[in-house]
Chain A
Amino acid sequence: MNEVLHEPSTEQEHKMDRQPAGKRILRFLNDWGIVLAILALIFFFAVTAPSFLQGANLINILRSISIVTIIAIGLTVSLTVNGFDLSVGSTATFASSLVVSFFVWYSLPLGLSIGLAILIALSVALVNVLLIVKFKIPDLFATLATMFIFEGVAMTYTGGGSISAGMPRLDGTPTVGMIPEGFLTISQAPWIIFIMLVVVAVTHLFLNHTRHGRFLYIIGGNPEAAHLTGIPVQRYRALAYVIAGGLAAVGGILLASQVGSSQINAGSGYLMPAVAAAFIGSSFAGQGKPNAVGTLVGACLVGVLENGLVMLSVPYYSLNIIKGAVLALALASTYYRYQKK
């Protein structure tokens, strides 16, 4: 379904000069529309909600989009090979349950807990790879299945409840572990913003400046040609899902740090904004393909919108209407362009 992402939006820059003015404006809107939209939103909210432009609020926005961005970056990597990872939300939930349980139930040290949680959460990616690469299930359906499986696994693991320090386990066993102070700091500004920027930068460099990134895009663009060029297609598809799963796990751990506990299905709410961010971002700067910087910009758009709407006292339960509409708009712009060709 998402092969359209790889259609070139900048067919050839060489042809630019010959296009009529109207087309050039359209193209400009298409390429830089997100940035314009963000600026317009900022202007609108600044006028209607005076506290919006305060430094504290802007930092708050960046902080609030960090987790979405990191999960969306993983999703972006799965999109590069023309895949789609619906299970990122469940992976995040799973990782957050694991890491909190390691602290509270088993009193494991900080580094070990985080490392172990990411490692175990990667089992989601392995199941995805098995279903998609080995059993040839279309990506969307395979990850839909794993999404439910691991939502259930996480819930079963926690006994169907939340975990927090001092709270006894469901069977009544008292817990003695504490969540380390250091763990809670990583989700504070500026740290979480730094982590997000590092993830975006590293992924950007990986996708655009390494051989492996080039191969991922080639596979997404034409898997058959990639195969007959000697690129080990299946290995790279597997890699894409492992990266997607790994980043989703990092997102889940930051989520646990932010909340200070593990909540049921905490990660599932991140799937939709992450998908929106990745799709909005794919048209950023005329790239016409999933890309890390675009995804960050897409996440900013979603974040600004959400923050501003909250400031305007739009009830939280109605936010999904607007966020969903933005996703539909982003998809429409991607696919509409494809059909016109």
Chain B
Amino acid sequence: MTQSDVTNRLEMRGISIEFPGVKALDEVDFSVRRGEIHALVGANGAGKSTLMKVLAGAHTSYDGTISFEGVPLTIDSPRAAKRAGIEIVYQEVDTALISYLTVAENICLDLLTNGQLKGVIRQRRFEQIALEALGKLQSSIDVRQRVSELRLADKQLVLIARALVQDSRFLILDEPTAPLSQRETEHLFRVIKELATREQLGVIFISHRLQELFTICESISVMRDGKLVARQALVGQTKETIVEQMLGRRLQQTDRQTRPVGQALLELDQVSVTGQLDQLSLTVHAGEVIGIAGLVGAGKTELCKTIFGAIPTAAGQIRVAGEPANIRSPHEAVSRGIGLVPEERRKEGILVADPIYQNMTAASLKQFVNRFGWVQTGQERTAAKDIIKRLAIKSTDETQHVAGLSGGNQQKVAIGKWLLADASILLLDEPTKGVDVGAKREIFHVIHQLAEQQKGILYASSEFDELLTVTDRIYVMYDGKIVFETKTSETTEEQLLLYATGGTTS
């Protein structure tokens, strides 16, 4: 592309955003043309979503300029973005749809709010507009149906149709294919391609599945650590070259001592969950740290919650310490010595409004009750003090409320809970999410200590460099399946990322 040719081009220049402590975007230049299907990729936290939110008007305080055909645009609200002809379809389609309105009403929603449809609202007119838009998408969704009755793939189409009826020039699709089946994906691609050629729609396509980018996109931008590192045509690239651009560097192996490995503590045999997990088999031995590598949406969280009894299995068997275990609730999982440190810490893992000691004893309160059923708070506090020391939790004392702790220390409290409950199997779901570097190292240290005490640890993460540091063996998940198993000492970050994005050979 030449700098002078601005026809049909949407251009972002020098976009920077600073969040407290992090430079989320650093002088990013990005451009896309009408009629072009452009891929945007990057590892977790690279800044793709932030950049697209700027374009969609969801972030208002940024530096840099946005222009179309050389004319500057002021995008300071979602409404302004829509007026500029930019439409975004977020991954969580339900947040953008009004579930109890009909398909037609949802498609025409923006026409109502921006005043293009005025006066008495005629249902027939809605339906006409909606039918026409859906026709372009080769979809036969009943426009009188309520959106709540639609399948996910159809909801996406409704959102795309909504973009069409207001003559959008650019459409951002944020990981649209993650929840779709093969056939639904193919249909979506066919439709997008047609829109690009026939309606001159510019499409920005965010995806973690590198494979599919090659079938639909012409060009690609790669982001890393808040910067744009490459913008190029896809022709001539391979999955490997793109993975290398995403990572930017090759990570060395850290030296690690090996531990004696004991009996199998946790075994999964062909475990399936309808629509989420597909015939997973894995083993965690005592004294072993097992990694589950996978990108967002690969099924890691579902796997952890399934083992923990929070999601019912459809088929397969789970064995704990060699014995078949039919775990139907977290309550049963805990009584079998399994602990879960969930991904959504504040929502699922800790009790922010309660003191540290009450957080820690929540899963083991039975131990602190005397024979009259009286909770021995003194004993609770002593036990909590001990854990605070063992895990080096920075706090004023054990009565401090967890809300006042840093992310890393909150995470340690969540782990400490299972130490008191004496769990022999620990499931950690993205345990370093929102945790600073120093605390990360301390958490790794704790994990190794636990492994030395012959506990079995399942460590699910999309941070592959961390998996390489902390685990002994790694299973890679993609699309609800385990696609690869390796000893940590025999793999690289690139290989993991390749399998995690749906590649098959290294």
Instruction: Identify the A interface with B (CB < 8 A).
Output: 6-8, 11-12, 14, 209-211, 214-215, 217-218, 221-222, 224-232
Contact = CB atoms under 8 A, between A and B. Distances in A.
Interface of B: 308, 310, 329-331, 333-335, 340, 342, 344, 347-354, 358, 362-363, 365-366, 369, 373-375, 396, 400-401, 403-404, 417, 421
Given A225-B347, A228-B348, A229-B363, A211 B375 contact: yes
Contacts of A7: 353
Nearest to B354: A221
A218 B347 contact: no
Which secondary structure dominates chain B's binding surface? mixed
Given A11-B403, A221-B351, A228 B375 contact: no
Nearest to B377: A209
B373 A229 contact: no
Contacts of A222: 347-348, 350-352
A218 B361 CA distance: 11
Contacts of B363: 229-230
B349 A228 contact: yes
B348 A210 contact: no
A210 B375 contact: yes
Nearest to A224: B348
Which secondary structure dominates chain A's binding surface? helix
Given A7-B353, A230-B330, A210 B310 contact: no
Given A6-B353, A211-B366, A225-B350, A230 B374 contact: no
A137 to B, nearest CB: 17
A221 B351 CA distance: 7
- 4 closest cross-chain pairs (CB), A and B: A230-B334, A8-B353, A211-B365, A224-B348
B342 A218 contact: no
Contacts of B335: 230
11 contacts: A211-B373, A211-B375, A214-B358, A218-B358, A224-B347, A227-B310, A229-B330, A230-B330, A230-B335, A230-B421, A231-B331
A227 B308 CA distance: 11
Contacts of A226: 362
Contact of B417 (A6, A229, A232): A229
A89 B349 CA distance: 37
Nearest to B376: A209
A210 B373 contact: yes
Nearest to B396: A14
Contact of A218 (B349, B351, B403, B421): B351
Contacts of A218: 351, 354, 358, 362
A225 B351 contact: yes
Nearest to B373: A210
B358 to A, nearest CB: 7
A232 B329 contact: yes
Contacts of B352: 222
A11 B401 contact: yes
A232 B331 contact: yes
Contacts of A14: 396, 400
Contacts of A227: 310, 330
Contacts of B330: 227-230
B196 to A, nearest CB: 42
Contacts of B331: 230-232
B333 A230 contact: yes
A215 B369 CA distance: 13
Nearest to B332: A230
A209 B400 CA distance: 19
Contacts of B310: 227-228
B432 to A, nearest CB: 18
A233 to B, nearest CB: 9
B122 to A, nearest CB: 34
Nearest to A232: B331
Nearest to A210: B373
Given A12-B400, A221-B353, A230-B363, 19 more contacts: A8-B401, A11-B404, A12-B401, A14-B396, A210-B374, A211-B366, A218-B354, A218-B362, A221-B351, A221-B354, A222-B350, A224-B348, A225-B351, A227-B330, A228-B348, A230-B330, A230-B331, A230-B421, A232-B331
A8 B353 CA distance: 5
Contacts of A224: 344, 347-348
A14 B399 CA distance: 10
Nearest to A6: B353
A225 B350 CA distance: 6
Contact of B334 (A210, A217, A225, A229): A229
A8 B456 CA distance: 36
B222 to A, nearest CB: 36
